[in-house]
Amino acid sequence: MTLLPDNIEKTRTWGEALSAFFHPRVIAMLFLGFSAGVPILLIFSTLSVWLREADVERATIGFFSWAALGYGFKFVWAPLVDKLPLPFLGRVMGQRRSWLLFSQVAIMTALCFMAVSEPTTGLQALAIGAVMLGFSSATQDIVIDAYRIEAAEKELQGLMSATYIAGYRIGMIVAGAGALELAGILDVVDGYDKFAWQTTYFAMAAVMVVGVITTFIINEPIRKEVKSAYLNTINDYARFLGVFVLAASAFVGIFFASSGWAGEAKLSLSGDGLLNKQLAGFIVEAVRLCIGVAAATATAWAMIAINFIPKKMITETYLAPFTDFFVRYGRVALLIIALISTYRIADVVMGVMANVFYVDLGYEKQEIGRITKLFGLTMTIAGGFLGGLLTVRYGVMRILFLGAVLAAITNILFALLAGIGPDLWALAGVISADNLSAGIASAAFVAYLSSLTSTSFTATQYALFSSIMVLLPKLIAGYSGMMVENIGYVSFFIATAAIGAIPLALIVLVARTQRKPAL
């Protein structure tokens, strides 16, 4: 950390850092974090074990990670959450709490839909449920992030982040170790038992009640309102919502309508020997994504062209938060965006294949749950609290750098584990180091993102930052299964560690450049 300027941030005493943990709003974030942590593993690692037991191919499991791309595009509908009041609920509960309740009910509905789906006979239905879960969970994240920033002053954001991460990881323990343990207990047949997994997902829907109760207990935060010149009546809100729905429908329609063409294009490119199967698949899927985005954009502009909504409404809603960020940070903003988009790349790309790696190495699913989820996520919670304390004590940028170093180093440990084999003590050691490091890095990173956000555009700007944070890593992670099949686990883990050098360089550049006045 000597690469960073010595005077970049103010430091505090250990006593000041520790006393802030007992602030009521800091404690409240523990329960909201739990609500946010439950859904994520039910799209990723827990779902990957379910799919692998159902004999779904590794490449397909990798593509399932795209079900959570809603996290990467949530800035698109964050202005709706920021500005659109929900009928009745908005008046009774307030803007933040009403959207929290709405998203939590949507999460429970999506989990129940997945529970009644079956990968061996209806993989597409399960994929739709996973997308619904990703969209609902991303919406909940938008609201919780806005609440966290608005509910406490800047000095508490490091510890608000730490307790949020602690609750988040507890939720992950329930959805990870708890789900795998429950599925193992209910598994009473040889081989794949669909009843065990379906019951498990119903149980995960039930634990979301914790989030619902929390939403009713907390108070609506006092926030700075930005007076809108165009969003004031029910008719304005209805038209604004209508444009979003039409644009989203255009994206989904084009994306699914092109599935037949995409399959033929992949076969044509790979069959003619022009490209290998993996590269052909990457190019075709990237083209589909771009076409879908273009269709959504064209639909929105068409609504403007026919004067369905004023152009200035879109400018005020979407461009103003971007403009505010670039005005405040100047040219440094581009470096900050590059840092945000790459900080978690090593962890996310590696993480999609982690549970598949454990299964292929020979571990039982209950061993995976107990060590990698229960014990491992306990270490992440400890890392989160440590990261929160270190952030308050030494400043965000120093701990951000430390977290990036540890994330890269610990990925190499997985390459060593591949050579050791299914040894429980070796797995526990690797998971301890990896998850403790992840907790430290996450606490610092969430605090850093919060510090970048203007209270005038809380939900939209933070959603933009957190979307940028996961978009590139998740797109690359979708091909992690193909990477493993082509280069093997050892080379894959070493490669993910190597790309961790990118955020390290960017942290140094941002820390040094931010000391100069923005131009």
- Structure-block tokens of residue 500: 């961790």
Residue type, 486: N
Lowest mean pLDDT among 105-109, 244-248, 398-402, 492-496: 244-248
Burial class (CB in 10 A: 0-12, 13-18, 19+), 491: middle
B/e letters for 90-120, b = 16+ CB within 10 Å, e = fewer, are beebbbbbbbbbbbbebbbebbbbbbebebe
What is the per-residue pLDDT for 419? 83
| Other Cβ atoms closer than 10 A to 442 | 26
pLDDT of residue 311 exceeding 90, the answer is no
Tens digits of per-residue pLDDT, 287-296? 877 888 888 8
- pLDDT band at residue 140, thresholds of 50, 70 and 90? very high
What is the per-residue pLDDT for 379? 85
- pLDDT band at residue 113, thresholds of 50, 70 and 90? very high
Burial class (CB in 10 A: 0-12, 13-18, 19+), 517: exposed
Tens digits of per-residue pLDDT, 204-250? 999 999 999 989 998 888 766 655 555 666 677 777 778 878 887 88
Determine the average pLDDT of the residues in 113-141: 85
pLDDT of residue 17 exceeding 80, the answer is no
What is the per-residue pLDDT for 206? 95
Alpha-carbon distance 324 to 331, whole Å? Answer: 13
Alpha-carbon distance 467 to 340, whole Å? Answer: 9
Identify the CA nearest to 280 among candidates 309, 498, 272, 128: 272
Tens digits of per-residue pLDDT, 164-201? 888 887 888 888 878 888 888 887 777 777 888 889 99
Tens digits of per-residue pLDDT, 360-400? 888 877 788 778 767 777 788 888 888 877 887 777 888 88
Identify the CA nearest to 167 among candidates 191, 141, 131: 141
Lowest mean pLDDT among 7-21, 44-58, 237-251, 468-482: 7-21
Q: What is the pTM of this model?
A: 0.71
- pLDDT band at residue 518, thresholds of 50, 70 and 90? very low
With pLDDT > 90 as the criterion, what percentage of the chain qualifies? 10
* Integer CA distances (angstroms), 517 to 8, 20, 167, 324, 488, in order: 13, 31, 38, 16, 47
- Structure-block tokens of residue 165: 């991460």
Identify the CA nearest to 260 among candidates 236, 284, 295: 284
pLDDT of residue 493 exceeding 60, the answer is yes
Q: Look-up: residue for tokens 């700007």?
A: 461
What is the per-residue pLDDT for 34? 93
Tens digits of per-residue pLDDT, 255-291? 677 767 766 776 776 665 555 666 666 677 778 778 8
Helix (H, G, I), strand (E, B) or coil at 310: coil
209: Cβ contacts below 8 Å, ≥ 6 apart: none
pLDDT of residue 76 exceeding 80, the answer is no
